[in-house]
Amino acid sequence: MSTLQTIETPDGPFTILADDEGRVMASGWTTDAATILERLHPTRRPTDIRPGETAAAEAAIAFYDGDVAAIDTVAVAQRGTPLQLRGWAALRAIAPGAPLTYTGFAAALGQPTAVRAAASICARNAPALFVPCHRVLRTDGTLGGFAWGLDVKRSLLAREAA
């Protein structure tokens, strides 16, 4: 049985979907469970979901309280291609306050010409915050996109730079 929890953050409500082992499957700045579920491939969407508490919520609260490394050890459950899995692991290795460009991220994956693939990896990242795709910027240094809005991305980056 999966657990769904929403907490309040300075960036708005943040909802976490965790599997029965407590690993974050999807998360984002919304109260809408359907929006969270849509971040997952249809074959991965759980059907048995209950409201409750998640261990990941404590890490998110600690992050917002100033411990930006609190999210680093939260277990996540992601399925994808080998490149996507490597990419999501590489996102977790980007230090807070030291964002990469999509070009730098592609290079970190060992595929410096795969900039579009790097952007796609970020776009398909379901456990937002815990797999910090917000730490990747356009090659010109501007924010680029973010599933949860540029205001949230800007806020997260500013929090981590402090």
Catalytic residues: 133
Q: How far apart are CA 53 and CA 160, in angstroms?
A: 25
SS3 label, residue 129: coil
For residue 141, the tally of other CB atoms under 10 A from its CB is 9
Whether the Cβ atoms of residue 55 and residue 19 lie closer than 8 Å to each other = no
Q: How far apart are CA 132 and CA 82, in angstroms?
A: 18
Of 79, 72, 118, 123, nearest to 93 by C-alpha is 72
Helix residue ranges, H only, the chain: 33-38, 55-64, 82-93, 102-108, 115-123, 150-161
Instruction: Categorise residue 141: left if φ over 0, alpha if ψ from -120 to 50, beta otherwise.
Output: left
